[in-house]
Amino acid sequence: MPLDERYHGDLQGLNKAETAERLGKQSMHQWRRSFSVRPPEGESLEDTMNRTLPFFNNVF
């Protein structure tokens, strides 16, 4: 199981301005502030938690 950072999918490597230009400010705001909304082809904070929490539960 990888412990990589949250994967932003199609938006990986873009800064905020580039992301807003590509998605629109409202869509960007929605996925950045949401727990369960995913960026295009990426993972939500919920996905990241579900992917990494088992590791920490087993180690600690």
Ranges of each domain in the chain: 9-59
State residue 59's pLDDT score.
84
d(CA 57, CA 25): 36
Is 51 annotated in a binding site? The answer is no
How do residues 11-44 score in pLDDT, each as one tens digit?
Answer: 999 999 999 999 999 999 998 899 999 999 999 9
Predicted confidence (pLDDT) at residue 1 exceeds the cutoff of 60: no
Q: Residue 60 — pLDDT band, cuts 50, 70, 90? A: confident
Separation of CA 44 from chain center: 4
Q: Residue 47 — pLDDT band, cuts 50, 70, 90? A: very high
Are 20 and 29 spatial neighbours (Cβ–Cβ below 8 Å)?
no
d(CA 2, CA 36): 20
Is 6 annotated in a binding site? The answer is no
Is 33 annotated in a binding site? The answer is yes
State residue 4's pLDDT score.
86
